[in-house]
Homo-oligomer: A and B are copies of this chain.
Amino acid sequence: MKYNKDTSEKILDAAVREFETKGYSGTRMQAIADRAGINKALLHYYYKSKDALFQIIIQKAFKVFIPKVISAIDEETDLFETIEKFTSSYIDNLIQHPRIPAFITLEINNNPERLLGLIQSSGVNVEKFKQKIDTAIEKGEIIDVEPIQLIVNIISLCLFPFVAKPIITGLVLNGDEKVYEKMIEERKQEVSKFIIRAIKK
């Protein structure tokens, strides 16, 4: 057996934690090795280079960050149900991986070229969602909104509280993490209520 799977995963876990908080350039291979309880040489034995290791991690993170919108949209549910389902499942997903949004925005601003490739291979189709919004307008179910604005609003309300956790906790919640977590949990319902009330005719 060439690779010890246990060691391989220990490294990956350690690398995720380092990259997520420090970003690519702020992360040291030594720090990853220390956290994994091994040495730098072994790290290079399992993963060729810092960049190779990073690629693996950012691709995994991107899959969490860009949700499978399609499955929710393809179904023959109306716009309201689509929004409810999307926001609650997306926020729930982010609660399981709370550091991903900050990590992605951190590195995506740093290296937008890499983003494009990842988006293209993500298979997300926003057009279908736009169409669903247009249909709801035509049917008179919602007020006349710009689909893009609505989509940006939905994404903003789901993601930003995770991106800006330290700011929200410090500025609005007096540093109380427990209150932060409760607030996020409530958003699984509150966000869709807020959106639907804003657009329903």
Contacts and interface: CB of A to CB of B under 8 A. Distances in A.
Interface of A: 21-26, 66, 102, 104-106, 108-110, 112, 115-116, 119, 124, 126, 143, 146, 148-149, 151-153, 155-157, 159-161, 163-168, 170-173, 175, 179, 183, 186-187, 190-191, 194-195, 197-199
Contact of A170 (B116, B146, B149, B151): B116
B187 A149 contact: yes
Given A23-B106, A26-B24, A126 B171 contact: yes
A22 B160 CA distance: 21
Contact of A109 (B21, B116, B153, B173): B21
A175 to B, nearest CB: 7
A108 to B, nearest CB: 5
A interface, by DSSP: helix, strand, loop or mixed? helix
A35 B39 CA distance: 38
A22 B21 contact: no
Contacts of A25: 22-23, 25-26
A152 B168 contact: yes
Given A105-B164, A115-B166, A149-B194, 7 more contacts: A112-B166, A116-B175, A148-B172, A148-B179, A152-B168, A153-B194, A156-B157
